[in-house]
Amino acid sequence: MIQSKKNIQSGKVNFLFFLIYFFLINQSLPLIAIEGSFVEIKVLDKVSSKTDLLKLEVGKELKFKGLLIKSLKCKNSEFDDNPEITAYIQVKDMTNKDNNEVFIFNGWTFSSSPAVNPFDHAVYDIWLTRCY
């Protein structure tokens, strides 16, 4: 009887140390997103079926054929083995002279689910490949 009480007490103490350790580890390693300085996107020309890999510096515009592409942010999540890559991208169609439409795309794009916030253009498709 005395031995089982000692085992129970020992188990409670071990469990308490485990809980303290678990919470300290979670506090020291927060689940944050790491922001990158460059975004890598693929652009598909639907007419010629050719793809181009573009490297965009965050905050700067890049002119690609008739498009003006700008990335404002990109993030890599760090909470699982397959991190989600997200980027906030703005795209202007420079061939469109209609002043009513500023951006043909303005929003977040996701590497794993490009259909969540799709880029819709008659000639080009854009999808996110990397953030670094």
30 has pLDDT over 70: no
Q: For 62-99, what is each residue's pLDDT tens digit?
A: 999 989 999 999 998 876 666 789 999 999 988 877 66
Q: What secondary structure, in 3-state letters, does 80-125 show?
A: CCCCCEEEEEEEEECCCCCCCCCCCEEEEEECCCCCCCCCCCCCEE
pTM exceeding 0.85: no
Q: What is the mean pLDDT of residues 90-118?
A: 81
